[in-house]
Chain A
Amino acid sequence: MVPILGRILILLALLAASAGALVGFATGMRPNAAGWKWARRLAYAFAAFMVLANLTMEYALLTHDFSVSYVAHVGSRRVPTWVSIVSLWSSLEGSILFWGLVMGVYIAVATSRNANRHPEYMPYAVGVWLACGAFFSFLLAGPAQPFATVPNPALDGPGPNPLLQNHYLMVIHPPFLYSGYVGMTIPFGLACAALLVGRLGNDFIRPLRNFLLLSWIFLTCAIVLGGWWAYEVLGWGGYWAWDPVENASFLPWLTATAALHSALLVERKGVLKGWTVVLVLATYLLTILGTFMTRSGVFNSVHSFTQSAIGPTILVFLAAALVFSLVLLALRVDTLGAEGRLETGPSRDVIFLVQNLLFVLFTFTVLLGTVFPLVVEAVRGVQMSVGRPYFDRMSVPVGVALLFVMGVGPALPWGRATAQQMRSALLPPLLSALLLAIAGLVLGVRNPWTLLALFFGGFTAQVTLSEMFLPVRQRMRSHGERFAEAFRQAQVRGRRRFGAYVVHAGAILAIVSIAVSSTMGSSKEVQLNKGESSTLGPYTLTFVQAEQVTDPHRESVQARVDISKNGRSLGALYPRMSQYENQREQIGSPAVRSSLTEDLYVSIHNIDSASVGLLVLINPMVSWIWIATAIMALGGLVALVPSLRGAAATAPGPVPATPIAIEGSP
């Protein structure tokens, strides 16, 4: 019964999306009120069917209905209820279903927010969104069917991948990732609509930028949550390995970041319209490429889904989206003529361009490194891996250069800068730059790149903070207001600007922390018998005993390792090895003692009752990466929220101010 209901809902979603896509395009070509109304209705219908299909699956998971094929694959009566709930996105078919849910919600929100605005563009945008929706519904109806009927259902299932059950971060990482990935569909549709209409006006860049920013916030969090999960769970001591699946999430982030910046130039100067559209299209195409990478089984990765039959289908969709984008661009990009002119001399304009080019260069570098092993294998038939050295060597200079332009750009004025302006803008921040670099030297930093990161980090931090509070200082001076009042007033008009600088502050902190944590750490592998100790830096680790821990769904052996720092006891850490029900491989869980200065990281290689093999690392400043990400996300929200409110308040005509809270969207 449940499988049939699920299949019917998926088919209805497919129907609504396909019909809506056709109606959307037809209405775009021949605008009429009835067509637009039906396009909207079908968009809402698609969303509703996706929501219902997901609820049906949750019901099946919670009631352990093993006649549903997906439940038979990932469900189990023995796992806790929360695991049953999140099993929705623990495996391939369910994750596509969840993808459909996120997509439905995004499309419904984007449609309703713009129901009475941009009448020229919106039917096309809805058409493109629903065409993408139709593809994912098709995946769910056929190649990745979650609701197939199991004829003779078993009494119990194997339960989801133990990695999912091993850490709460794996529960929240996928929803963030999908909200970021799927969200890119909205700017894609809007950019396609701009091309189809042949115009990208100042009013229309706003919804495009807002949805891009919203998805960007989710994607930023998702990438770092993924890294954090890897750090807390995988046990090799790092948070980023340039694994194809990690790169898959990083690639669209790079182009989206570039697009957010070039959109600012579109808005401010009416230039780079075609370029911005290219970046938005590329971002979406890269999310589809990422989907292919994680789900086709072609790439070798620690966290991809297993081999599946949907690879070719996604590839066909990717090819179709590429062809569509290319044809559209080739035919229409010239219609998005520039209204203004870019300054060529030393100016913020030029730094914007440099920044954009750096991001695109970064994208190509990562893409090349990710795909290169496939080229080698196709041509020469040998398996190879590009590995970290390539990525590290390429990304470090680009990262430092980005840090540099992030400082120089905001320091320079719009338009051509005079020599005097340049001096007064660029000389004072050198003070912080030198201070931070010297502090690094004193604390033992010798790696030239890390020193450079500290130097530019200091420079950029000073510029960022001074720009962040510039309007406040101006108000305090000109209006004689106190700081709090001036700050509040400055927020009324300049919230977006303020938010952007908060994001920059987070980015500086992130880059510096990554530079320090990846070059200033130390590590050691030790084999300890019961009662033996070993030291690393100021820490002494003593293996006290091995302990057996039994949970309903797993058996674990944990090592009690007493920790002391400079002779002072810090308690014990319990890294462990777990054996999950029905899984052969043991899964190690490292134990991490985090502090603001450094993490002590202990993971188990091997363990028996008498001895333990440990990997011990000291990772400095890792906590700051997580904090920096929170700052970036917060800054993004600060920049986003007022523009949503502002858009609703200043929109022309009788617009029902739909109070759609950011928190409400997925």
Chain B
Amino acid sequence: MATARPSRINGKVVIAGLAITLPLLGVLVANLGRDPHSVRSPLIGRPAPAFSLVPVGGGAPLSLENLRGKPVVINFWATWCVPCFEEHAALTAAARGLPDVQFLGIVYEDEEARTQDFLQQRPSPYPSLIDSEGKAAIAYGVFGVPETFFIDGNGRIVDKHVGPMTRSTIAALATKAKEGAR
């Protein structure tokens, strides 16, 4: 302590420090929340790609064409995807609460047997379709699961959500799809 002189503020340090750090922090703050990987889907506003797929467990193929006039929510999912699993409850609840919206699952890169087991343990009020060759996923430009598309009654994609959703997000986006038809 012998050499310590009474403290004085070193103005040069303050000015140099602020000149370097403030702009840096400003830029970082301004960019928070930005996702450099997110590319706005070019499909938004366009007609949803058509498909005709067989539901899990068999049955007649379901096609998007036949659902025209009703807003549709298409959820790409898989049994091996943890966020899909977390999202499942929100989706089934939203589907029950919105009877005028048609929910559809499309199984992404998964085995039918596993999917069947999954759905037996966790029943879902809407059908999930098997996309065995991944053609629907490619047509919709699915990058990873879960990804969910919101389609209005005219068959136009209104919005797309990447990652798991909560019930309120689903409801908000489904409303957008309902309004989109007008």
Across the interface, which residues of A come within 8 angstroms of B35, CB to CB?
Answer: 297, 307
Taking the complex as formed, is B144 at the interface, i.e. its CB lies under 8 A from any CB of chain A?
Answer: yes
Bound-complex Cα distance A322 to B29 (A): 14
Bound-complex Cα distance A325 to B16 (A): 13
Bound-complex Cα distance A374 to B9 (A): 33
Taking the complex as formed, is A312 at the interface, i.e. its CB lies under 8 A from any CB of chain B?
Answer: yes
With A298-B31, A322-B21, A377-B31 as known contacts, state yes or no: A334 contacts B37, CB within 8 Å: no
- Least CB separation from A364: chain B residue: B20
Hey, what's the 0/1 contact readout for A311-332 against B, CB within 8 Å counting as 1?
1100100110010011001111
How many whole Å from A272's CB to the nearest CB in chain B?
15
Residues of B1-41 at the interface with A, using a CB-CB cut-off of 8 Å, are: 1, 3-5, 7-11, 13-14, 17-18, 21, 24-25, 27-37
Taking the complex as formed, is A494 at the interface, i.e. its CB lies under 8 A from any CB of chain B?
Answer: no
Taking the complex as formed, is A157 at the interface, i.e. its CB lies under 8 A from any CB of chain B?
Answer: yes
Please name 29 pairs of A and B residues whose Cβ atoms are closer than 8 Å in the assembled complex, sorted by A.
A120-B1, A154-B82, A156-B80, A157-B82, A158-B80, A158-B81, A197-B1, A296-B32, A298-B31, A299-B36, A318-B28, A319-B25, A322-B17, A326-B13, A326-B18, A329-B13, A330-B11, A330-B14, A330-B17, A333-B13, A335-B5, A337-B3, A337-B5, A367-B24, A371-B28, A374-B30, A377-B31, A377-B34, A383-B36
Bound-complex Cα distance A377 to B33 (A): 13
| Contact indicator B28/A315 (Cβ below 8 Å) | yes
| Contact indicator B32/A315 (Cβ below 8 Å) | yes
Across the interface, which residues of A come within 8 angstroms of B80, CB to CB?
Answer: 156-158, 582
| Contact indicator A330/B13 (Cβ below 8 Å) | yes
Across the interface, which residues of B come within 8 angstroms of A371, CB to CB?
Answer: 24, 27-28
With A312-B32, A330-B13, A333-B10 as known contacts, state yes or no: A374 contacts B18, CB within 8 Å: no
Bound-complex Cα distance A337 to B10 (A): 13
| Contact indicator B4/A198 (Cβ below 8 Å) | yes
Bound-complex Cα distance A325 to B10 (A): 13
Bound-complex Cα distance A375 to B28 (A): 9
Q: 3 tightest A-B contacts by CB?
A: A300-B36, A198-B4, A378-B30
| Contact indicator B25/A322 (Cβ below 8 Å) | yes
| Contact indicator B4/A374 (Cβ below 8 Å) | no
| Contact indicator A584/B10 (Cβ below 8 Å) | no
How many whole Å from B138's CB to the nearest CB in chain A?
10
Instruction: Please tell me the size bucket of the interface on A.
Output: 35 or more
How many whole Å from B164's CB to the nearest CB in chain A?
12
Extra inter-chain contacts (6) besides given A319-B25, A383-B36, CB under 8 Å: A292-B28, A312-B32, A330-B17, A374-B27, A374-B28, A377-B31
Across the interface, which residues of A come within 8 angstroms of B9, CB to CB?
Answer: 330-331
| Contact indicator A334/B36 (Cβ below 8 Å) | no
Across the interface, which residues of B come within 8 angstroms of A374, CB to CB?
Answer: 27-28, 30-31
How many whole Å from A280's CB to the nearest CB in chain B?
15
Taking the complex as formed, is B140 at the interface, i.e. its CB lies under 8 A from any CB of chain A?
Answer: no
With A72-B82, A154-B82, A584-B109 as known contacts, state yes or no: A298 contacts B28, CB within 8 Å: yes
A315 CB contact (under 8 Å) in B21, B29, B144 = B29
Q: How many pairs of residues, A versus B, come closer than 8 Å at their CB atoms?
A: 101
| Contact indicator B14/A298 (Cβ below 8 Å) | no
Bound-complex Cα distance A312 to B21 (A): 17
- Least CB separation from A307: chain B residue: B35
- Least CB separation from A323: chain B residue: B21
How many whole Å from B11's CB to the nearest CB in chain A?
8
Residues of B66-101 at the interface with A, using a CB-CB cut-off of 8 Å, are: 80-82, 85
Bound-complex Cα distance A332 to B7 (A): 6
Taking the complex as formed, is A496 at the interface, i.e. its CB lies under 8 A from any CB of chain B?
Answer: no
Bound-complex Cα distance A318 to B9 (A): 22
Hey, what's the 0/1 contact readout for A496-512 against B, CB within 8 Å counting as 1?
00000000000000000
| Contact indicator B4/A335 (Cβ below 8 Å) | yes
Interface of B is mostly: loop
Across the interface, which residues of B come within 8 angstroms of A312, CB to CB?
Answer: 32
Bound-complex Cα distance A334 to B13 (A): 10
Bound-complex Cα distance A298 to B13 (A): 29
Residues of A551-607 at the interface with B, using a CB-CB cut-off of 8 Å, are: 582, 584
Across the interface, which residues of A come within 8 angstroms of B33, CB to CB?
Answer: 311
With A335-B3, A371-B24 as known contacts, state yes or no: A73 contacts B82, CB within 8 Å: yes
Across the interface, which residues of B come within 8 angstroms of A40, CB to CB?
Answer: none
| Contact indicator B5/A158 (Cβ below 8 Å) | no
- Least CB separation from A383: chain B residue: B36
Across the interface, which residues of A come within 8 angstroms of B3, CB to CB?
Answer: 198-199, 335, 337
Residues of B136-171 at the interface with A, using a CB-CB cut-off of 8 Å, are: 143-144
Across the interface, which residues of B come within 8 angstroms of A197, CB to CB?
Answer: 1, 4
How many whole Å from B88's CB to the nearest CB in chain A?
10
Hey, what's the 0/1 contact readout for A328-369 against B, CB within 8 Å counting as 1?
011111110100000000000000000000000000000100
Bound-complex Cα distance A584 to B21 (A): 41
Residues of A247-297 at the interface with B, using a CB-CB cut-off of 8 Å, are: 289, 292, 296-297
Bound-complex Cα distance A3 to B29 (A): 33
Across the interface, which residues of A come within 8 angstroms of B7, CB to CB?
Answer: 331-332, 334-335
Bound-complex Cα distance A197 to B14 (A): 20
Across the interface, which residues of A come within 8 angstroms of B36, CB to CB?
Answer: 297-300, 383
| Contact indicator B34/A298 (Cβ below 8 Å) | yes
How many whole Å from B21's CB to the nearest CB in chain A?
5
- Least CB separation from A322: chain B residue: B21
Bound-complex Cα distance A72 to B30 (A): 33
Across the interface, which residues of A come within 8 angstroms of B82, CB to CB?
Answer: 72-73, 154, 157-158
Residue among B7, B30, B34 with most chain A CB within 10 A? B34
Bound-complex Cα distance A1 to B180 (A): 48
B17 CB contact (under 8 Å) in A315, A329, A383 = A329
Bound-complex Cα distance A378 to B27 (A): 7
Across the interface, which residues of A come within 8 angstroms of B25, CB to CB?
Answer: 315, 318-319, 322
Across the interface, which residues of A come within 8 angstroms of B31, CB to CB?
Answer: 298, 374, 377-378
How many whole Å from A120's CB to the nearest CB in chain B?
8
Across the interface, which residues of B come within 8 angstroms of A335, CB to CB?
Answer: 3-5, 7
Across the interface, which residues of B come within 8 angstroms of A289, CB to CB?
Answer: 24
Bound-complex Cα distance A72 to B82 (A): 7
Bound-complex Cα distance A292 to B24 (A): 12
- Least CB separation from B79: chain A residue: A154
How many whole Å from A478's CB to the nearest CB in chain B?
40
How many whole Å from A332's CB to the nearest CB in chain B?
6
How many whole Å from A221's CB to the nearest CB in chain B?
28
Across the interface, which residues of B come within 8 angstroms of A198, CB to CB?
Answer: 1, 3-4
Bound-complex Cα distance A315 to B24 (A): 11
Bound-complex Cα distance A220 to B165 (A): 42
Bound-complex Cα distance A73 to B7 (A): 52
Across the interface, which residues of A come within 8 angstroms of B32, CB to CB?
Answer: 296, 298, 311-312, 315
Bound-complex Cα distance A311 to B36 (A): 14
| Contact indicator A199/B28 (Cβ below 8 Å) | no
How many whole Å from B169's CB to the nearest CB in chain A?
16
Bound-complex Cα distance A477 to B29 (A): 63
Hey, what's the 0/1 contact readout for A47-83 against B, CB within 8 Å counting as 1?
0000000000000000000000000110000000000
How many whole Å from B2's CB to the nearest CB in chain A?
8
Bound-complex Cα distance A300 to B36 (A): 5
Across the interface, which residues of B come within 8 angstroms of A331, CB to CB?
Answer: 7, 9-10
Bound-complex Cα distance A371 to B18 (A): 17
Bound-complex Cα distance A27 to B18 (A): 31
Bound-complex Cα distance A553 to B104 (A): 31
How many whole Å from B42's CB to the nearest CB in chain A?
16
